[in-house]
């Protein structure tokens, strides 16, 4: 702990004297009650069988799921007398609602139905590709989340049987195949025993799902079965909500939490039949499967904007409590305790190398974890984009610990990296914000970030929570390997515990970033510079600006400037510089100060993130955004805050929806 690198040193967090209270997270209450929100994955699905007007329930659910995709939306309602009404529209949900308002409301009367909000994969974001899709007779409707990988031969098979396809999607094939199975017909090269499924929707769904490859949540209704919905799940989320005389299904409990907190999460390759009186779950062969209901413990407010214009703004402000909740309960008797630790102390002691795999913002938190892990444990730590990991030949064995960081726990690139690591016999530890998601399920151990639901597509509170969580992993490794004494571990943990206050203080100071946003909104491009832990922060700042404000934003390690990027500097170009502490990292501070002078001399307009009291920087910064002084390794937790605000406010000044940036979805389940 002697070196200035990463030493937490004495507590030097300067915050207000006010005592802040953060909403607490009851870890003990959560776990037995099962998974809270299943966030992540593209596309949102809602299904309802009950006594209320289904359309209202479905639209309300879709509003809460729109963060999952907003390329198009659609609904299907059964009127109870053999008629299926379907409406779908490209664009955000409000387009569909406007269209429905122009139609005769009576056509959508009925108490069974389903809805979908789409992130387009197969087939562009058009009306014709919007879900629900129907069979040729318009009797059966399906909505889908995921990708049916063998869609091409299935579509060819249907076309060979004379079926005309009305969309470019993989999903439509499932509609026709199930309708054929239900009618007892056998497609050209179809499944054996198709006639055995005649008139039985669940059996038809099971038979078709056995033929599907890929990831899917598929939900079906049939006009002949007015009080019934059948759904199937493989590698995509599906949760049931159990009400009184009504049953819901959805991609995320947020869709029905207003109506019931009793829920059931479906497992892999399971098929469920829901009626207003309950549900029945089987495997793909029709064998009954026992499932365990759980109670959702978080309240609706967690999934609402709470007076903010955007979820993202609320989530930025929630960072102090997200970090506090992520740390809570992890130090017991001066020992770091992780969550579901299916790795023994011996396993951790035997680790001789750490790999971090992640994507996007989670990757940036992984880059930061490297500084802490190597410093505290003296283990080599490599950080790799999950999408690249398995396509080379990483050297892994039983002594390698692979840490997979994922907010959603469902990102396909990260999931495949986890699977590759496991095949190579490495131990896998997931850092995840979504209880019970696929990545933690397939990992040997899991540490949850307790940031609560993050609805804004841009990751904010989960980024800072991931930093806190991965630092806990670093401390756990240091403890197991004996590279730190117990009192040192406890001291580092105590420093981490001061961070909610420091981040709250950083939030108090974002007024300057807000004002600056108006000025930067008309820029064509922005560069970001940082060194050491400031470099991943610069990368994250640039990512936020790209995805929210659609501006060209690029980050460089400041030392690289002279090796090429300095050629980009021109008159008036805004350059954001993340400064290290003049005390904690004096040498690097001096070097960055020189970089600032070099770029200023070439016309750059500098925006400098520096610690409060850093007077040396003042004469050289066109704009100064101050953050509280904290120990070096913890600096990213405070310096990320003004960058998040800056990106959000620039995007708003340019007139964009910060919760739903174009072309994106909350997480990405395609490779």
List the catalytic residues: 43, 666
Residue of closest CB approach to ligand M6R: 360
Crossing angle of helices 499-508 and 486-497, rounded to 10°: 20
Among 319, 325, 377, 408, binds ligand M6R (CB under 6 A): 408
- Please identify, using beta-carbon distances, which residue of 467 and 543 lies nearer to ligand M6R: 543
Specify the length of the chain in residues.
671
* 574, β-bridge pairs: 605
Cβ of residue 422: shortest distance to ligand M6R, in angstroms?
A: 17
Nearest-angstrom CA–CA distance, 84 and 202:
18
Quick check: bond before 459 cis, omega within 30? Answer: no
CB atoms within 10 A of CB 295: 14
Contact status: 362 vs ligand M6R (CB under 6 A): yes
Query: CA-CA distance, 157 to 187, in Å (whole number)?
Result: 7
Q: Cα(302)–Cα(66) distance, rounded to whole angstroms? A: 16
668 binds ligand M6R (CB under 6 A): yes
Indicate whether 459 belongs to the interface with ligand M6R (CB under 6 A): yes
Q: From CA 644, how far away is CA 540, in angstroms rounded?
A: 9
Q: Judge contact between 239 and 253, C-beta under 8 A.
A: yes
| Pick from 46, 490, 57, 68: nearest CA to 253 | 46
Binding range to ligand M6R, per CB under 6 A, among 60-68, 372-380, 451-459, 587-595: 451-459
Return the DSSP state at 460.
S
Among 121, 251, 361, 606, the residue binding ligand M6R under the rule CB under 6 A is 361
Question: Segment near ligand M6R (CB under 6 A), from 145-153, 309-317, 358-366, 594-602?
Answer: 358-366
Task: Please count the helices (runs of H) and the strands (runs of E) in the chain.
Answer: 20, 27
Quick one: which of 117, 319, 406, 669 contacts ligand M6R (CB under 6 A)?
406
CB of 294 to ligand M6R, least distance (A): 22
Which of 183, 260, 411, 639 touches ligand M6R by CB under 6 A? 411
Size of interface with ligand M6R, in residues (CB under 6 A): 18
Between 365 and 632, whose beta carbon lies closer to ligand M6R?
365
Pick one of 183, 282, 414, 479: the residue that binds ligand M6R (CB under 6 A). 414
Q: Which of positions 18-47 make contact with ligand M6R (CB under 6 A)?
A: 40
Give CA–CA dist 240/49, Å, rounded: 11
Q: How far is CA 192 from CA 158, 266, 520, in A?
A: 16, 27, 63
Residue 360 as a binder of ligand M6R (CB under 6 A): the answer is yes
Distance in Å, CB of 387 to ligand M6R, minimum: 10
Q: Which of 86, 239, 457, 592 binds ligand M6R (CB under 6 A)?
A: 457
Which of 121, 113, 124 has its CA nearest to residue 74? 113
Whole-angstrom distance, CA of residue 422 vs CA of residue 293: 30
Stretch that binds ligand M6R, among 27-35, 408-416, 559-567, 646-654 (CB under 6 A): 408-416
Name the segment binding ligand M6R (CB under 6 A); options: 10-18, 123-131, 404-412, 645-653: 404-412
Burial code (b: 16+ CB inside 10 Å, e: under 16) for 505-530 equals: bbbebbebbbebbeebbebeebbbbb
Nearest-angstrom CA–CA distance, 396 and 426: 6
**Continuous H helices in 584-670:** 586-601, 635-653
Smallest gap from residue 666 Cβ to ligand M6R (A)? 7
What is the nearest approach in angstroms of ligand M6R to the Cβ of residue 505?
24
Which residues are 518's β-sheet partners? Answer: none
User: Which CB sits closer to ligand M6R, 362 or 428?
Assistant: 362
Work out whether 458 is an interface residue with ligand M6R (CB under 6 A): yes
Min dist. Cβ of residue 456 to ligand M6R (A): 8
CB of 232 to ligand M6R, least distance (A): 23
Q: How far is the CB of 392 from ligand M6R (least distance, A)?
A: 20
Cα distance between residue 285 and residue 270, in whole Å:
9
359 binds ligand M6R (CB under 6 A): yes
Binding part of the chain for ligand M6R, among 149-157, 253-261, 355-363, 584-592 by CB under 6 A, reads 355-363
Site track 635-664 with ligand M6R (rule: CB under 6 A), x = hit: -----------------------------x
CA dihedral 533, 535, 537, 539 (to 10 degrees): -150
Residues that bind ligand M6R (CB under 6 A): 40, 359-362, 406-408, 411, 414, 457-459, 543, 547, 664, 667-668
């Amino acid at each position: 702990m002697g070196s200035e690198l990463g030493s937490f040193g004495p507590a030097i967090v300067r915050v207000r004297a006010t005592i802040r209270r953060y909403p607490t997270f009851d870890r003990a209450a959560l776990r037995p009650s099962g998974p809270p929100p299943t966030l992540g994955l593209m596309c949102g699905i809602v299904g309802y069988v009950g006594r209320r007007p289904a359309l209202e329930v479905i639209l309300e659910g879709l509003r809460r799921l729109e963060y999952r995709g907003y390329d198009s939306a659609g609904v299907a309602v059964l009127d109870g007398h053999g008629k299926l009404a379907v409406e779908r529209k490209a664009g955000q949900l409000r387009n569909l609602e406007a269209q429905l308002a122009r139609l005769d409301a009576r056509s959508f009367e009925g108490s069974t139905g389903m809805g979908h909000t789409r992130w387009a994969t197969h087939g562009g974001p058009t009306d014709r590709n919007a879900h629900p899709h129907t069979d040729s007779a318009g009797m059966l409707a399906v909505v889908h989340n995921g990708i049916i990988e063998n869609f091409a031969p299935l579509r060819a098979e249907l076309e060979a049987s004379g079926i005309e396809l009305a969309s470019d999607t993989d999903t439509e094939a499932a509609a026709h195949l199930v309708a054929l199975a239900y009618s007892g017909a056998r497609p050209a090269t179809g499944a054996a025993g198709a006639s055995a499924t005649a008139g039985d929707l669940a059996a038809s769904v099971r038979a078709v799902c056995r033929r599907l490859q890929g990831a899917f949540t598929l939900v079906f209704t049939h006009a002949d079965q007015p009080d019934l919905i059948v759904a199937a799940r493989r590698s995509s989320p599906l949760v049931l909500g159990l009400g009184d005389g009504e049953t819901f299904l959805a991609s995320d409990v947020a869709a029905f939490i207003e109506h019931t907190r009793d829920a059931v999460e479906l497992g892999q390759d399971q098929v469920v039949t829901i009626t207003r009186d309950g549900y029945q779950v089987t495997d793909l062969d029709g064998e009954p499967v026992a499932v365990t209901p759980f109670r959702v413990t978080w309240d609706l407010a967690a999934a609402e904007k709470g007076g903010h214009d955007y979820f993202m703004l609320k989530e930025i402000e929630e960072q102090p409590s997200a970090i506090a909740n992520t740390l809570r309960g992890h130090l017991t008797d001066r020992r770091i305790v992780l969550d579901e630790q299916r790795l023994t102390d011996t396993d951790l002691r035997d680790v001789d190398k750490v790999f971090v795999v992640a994507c996007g913002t989670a990757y940036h938190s992984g880059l930061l974890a490297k500084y802490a892990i190597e410093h505290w444990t003296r283990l080599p730590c490599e950080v790799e984009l999950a999408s690249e990991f398995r396509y080379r030949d990483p050297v892994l064995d039983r002594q390698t610990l692979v840490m997979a960081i994922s907010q959603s726990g469902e990102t396909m690139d990260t999931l495949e990296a986890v699977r590759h690591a496991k095949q190579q016999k490495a131990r896998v530890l997931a850092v995840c914000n979504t209880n019970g998601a696929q990545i933690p399920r397939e990992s040997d151990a899991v540490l949850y970030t307790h940031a609560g639901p993050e609805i804004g597509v841009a990751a904010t509170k989960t980024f800072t929570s991931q930093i806190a969580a991965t630092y806990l992993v670093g401390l756990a490794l240091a403890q197991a390997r004996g590279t730190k004494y117990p009192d040192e571990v406890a001291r580092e943990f105590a420093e981490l515990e001061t961070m909610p206050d420091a981040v709250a203080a950083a939030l108090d100071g974002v007024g300057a970033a807000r004002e600056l946003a108006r000025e930067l909104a008309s820029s064509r491009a922005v560069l970001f510079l940082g060194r050491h832990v400031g470099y991943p922060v610069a990368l994250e700042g640039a990512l936020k600006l790209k995805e929210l404000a659609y501006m060209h934003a690029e980050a460089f390690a400041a030392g690289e400037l002279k090796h090429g990027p300095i050629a980009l500097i021109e008159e008036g170009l805004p350059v954001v510089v993340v400064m290290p502490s003049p005390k904690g990292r004096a040498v690097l501070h001096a070097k960055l100060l020189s970089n600032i002078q070099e770029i200023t001399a070439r016309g750059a307009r500098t925006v400098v993130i520096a610690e409060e009291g850093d007077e040396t920087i003042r004469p050289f910064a066109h704009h100064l955004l101050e953050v509280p002084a904290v120990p070096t390794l913890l600096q990213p937790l405070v310096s990320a805050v003004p960058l998040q605000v800056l990106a959000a406010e620039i995007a708003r000044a340019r007139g964009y929806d910060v919760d739903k940036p174009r072309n994106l979805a909350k997480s990405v389940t395609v490779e």
